[in-house]
Structure 1
Amino acid sequence: MIETIYVIRHAFRSNWAVNPRTGEYTATIPTPTGLAHDPPLTAKGAEQSKELSLCLRNLDPPIDRVYSSPFYRCLQTLKPTTDYLFKQGKITARIRIDRGIGEFFGRAHFQHPEPPNIAVLTSHFDHLDRDYESFHVPHPKGESIVELHERVNKAIDRIVSELDDDPEQPRTLLVCTHAATMIALGRVLTGNMPSDPDEDDFQCYTASLSQFVRQNMDPGRGVVGNWECVLNSGTDFLSGGAERGWKFNGEESFVAFPDAPSRNKEPLKL
């Protein structure tokens, strides 16, 4: 069974912007995948990914399986680590791309662009699982904060449950994701769901590392709410320390919520 889950946020990325009226995304520099909403890391981010790698390759217990958001910046953050682990034969199972742990886009009247597909990503990165399929995909017109947590809940439950049944019996999982999703993962795994989604609980600094340890090893106990957070967005291994923290601030939406309570907050539930 999976006993430990490591969660990292991608390193410092290049900027992009979206026109809230038209839904058009623009980037300050050309992107490797040709998608404006899929920027690469900055030079600083690339250095962060190398510092993070020195930490990840020496974790105890060591990494057995790797799952990633489909965005370029996440796989670029993982690359120094995964290249080393595959070269040394420390992991053999290919990296799985899962949209259920992907980026959070607020609700909008337009369709958000999709992330690069596996064919595009394999032209940039090695060791990807071309046969893996995501089941829990964000709505094309974005999500409310509650919907984000529901999506993350279903995705991590499926991921861990499948790995628990894996005949190779991996013990540890590494997930690379984004700020909002990293916060949601902390809440879902521990079951500590605040009544106010703006609560400053789980942190998500760039290139930071969180660690969750399973509490009850009975398969009947389930995944959600069965983990203790023993490291909350650690950054001791980064020369710049904790940077680019993020938290929810009201409903992260491009549209109004006329039927929602004040400040568009909905109660968070498992």
Structure 2
Amino acid sequence: MVLEVIYIVRHGFRSNWVVDPDTGVYSSNVTSPTGIHSDPALAGYGVDQAKQLAKKILTLDPPVDVIYSSPFYRCLQTLKPTTEQLFRGRCGGKVRVENGVGEFYGRARFDHPSPAPLSVLHTHFPNLDPDYTPLIIPSTNGETIEGLHDRIAYALHQMIATLDADPQGPRALLICTHAASMIAMGRTLTGRMPKDPAEDDFKCFTCSLSKFMRRRKENVVPSGDDTKGEKWNRASPDDIPDVGWRDGKGVKGGWNCELNGDCSFLRGGEERGW
């Protein structure tokens, strides 16, 4: 059995921060639980959104088998109402914290803040997989738009290959991420990259839900990784192996979008589109 469906959600409404573009100094009015200015918690409204999202996720068919999340606090906090209920049932019980689906920072002369390490995150969220190693970590100097898409494609490719080869046969994957990364996931999974990256194609409202179904899953062989031995190397973070997702191919055989930023289950509807 191979992976059949990928659910993607964006984190809820968060507190804000600012950055001085000349110095690279980040600041915020609300103290972050991790002490990192660009790693805020959800606002109270976002906490309510996360609870509404959890009710929706628990009704999904097929149900969620595996969860991956960005390492930023707001994403893990968004998943908390879901994991508190889902992990009582059939789901594996651990969130895999993956930097490859983390926040997008543009190119800069300075270092952007890195997310908190797993040891710190685990003090706030006990249901994290302590043995999981991230597949790819973005450069602290930021990324180009093209680099963002290649990073997302590589992370998804490796995730899907791992789950295809999992003897437990997971059918459904849930990922919690950020606005730009959610858009890039839609493009890399479907293989549809617009000429203008600013095109409004894949939606990313706060706590919205997207769903992607695999194309021709009966032809997919669960043979693990197929990147011809090319692996991302932390010493060269911008040198990302090409997984061949462009020109309509999509990651690992391609996926069709069945839900695009659905907010029908949220009382406030579509908010904070990017």
Q: Which amino acid aligns with 2:130?
A: R
Alpha-carbon deviations, 1:135-174, whole Å to 9, x = none?
2111110001000000001000000110100111100000
TM-aligned CA distance change 1:129 to 1:167, over 3 Å = same
Alpha-carbon offset, residue 126 of structure 1: 1.8
Residue matched to 2:214 = 214
Structure 1 residues not aligned, in runs of 5+:
247-270
Are positions 1:166 and 2:194 aligned together? Answer: no
Structure 2 CA distance for aligned equivalents of residues 238 and 51 of structure 1 = 6
Distance between the aligned counterparts of 2:216 and 2:143, measured in 1? 32
Residue matched to 1:254? none
Q: Which amino acid aligns with 1:234?
A: D
- 1:194-250 deviations in Å (ceiling 9; x for gaps): 11101110010000000000012122598346100000000000000000000xxxx
Residues 225 and 184 of structure 1: CA distance in aligned 2, closer, same or farther (over 3 Å)? farther
CA contact (8 A) 1:192 1:225 kept: no
State the alpha-carbon separation in 1 of the partners of residues 136 and 127 from structure 2: 22
AA in 2 matched with 1:239: R
SS at match of 2:149: helix
Matched, 1:4 2:24: no
Aligned-partner Cα distance in 1 for 2:113–2:162: 29
Match of 1:111 in 2: 111
- 1:182 equivalent to 2:182? Answer yes
RMSD: 1.2
Count of residue correspondences? 245
**CA deviation after TM superposition for structure 1 residue 99, in Å:** 0.4
Distance 1:140 1:219 in 2: 35
Provide the rounded CA distance (Å) in 1 between the counterparts of 2:20 and 2:216. 46
Q: Does 1:245 align with 2:273?
A: yes
Equivalent position SS for 2:251: coil
Aligned residue number for residue 21 of structure 2: 20
CA contact (8 A) 1:191 1:225 kept: no
Q: Tell me which moved more, 130-139 or 171-180.
A: 130-139
Matched AA of 2:70: S
- CA distance in 2 between partners of 1:240 and 1:210 (Å): 17
1:73-98 Cα deviation digits (max 9, x unpaired): 000000000110112x2212411000
Matches within 5 A, 1:1-270: 1-87=2-88, 89-217=89-217, 218-219=219-220, 223-224=251-252, 226-246=254-274
- 8 Å CA contact 1:190, 1:224 repeated in 2: no
Cα deviation code 1:23-61 (max 9, x no counterpart): 111111111111111000000000000000100011111
TM-score (normalised: structure 2)? 0.87
Question: Using the alignment, how far apart are the partners of 1:186 and 1:192 within structure 2?
Answer: 8
Aligned-partner residue type, residue 35 of structure 1: I
Q: Which amino acid aligns with 1:216?
A: R
Q: Which ranges in structure 2 are unaligned for 5 or more consecutive residues?
A: 222-248
1:110 alignment partner AA: F
Q: Residue type of the partner of 1:229?
A: C
Runs of 4+ in 1 over 6 A off after TM superposition: none
Contact 1:161 1:223 in 2 (8 A): no
Q: Distance in 1 between matches of 2:176 and 2:182?
A: 9
Q: Distance in 1 between matches of 2:34 and 2:115?
A: 9
Q: Distance in 1 between matches of 2:92 and 2:155?
A: 23
**1:74 alignment partner, SS class:** helix
> How many Å separate the matches in 2 of 1:122 and 1:154?
26
Give % identity.
52
Aligned mates of 2:270, 2:23 — CA distance in 1: 35
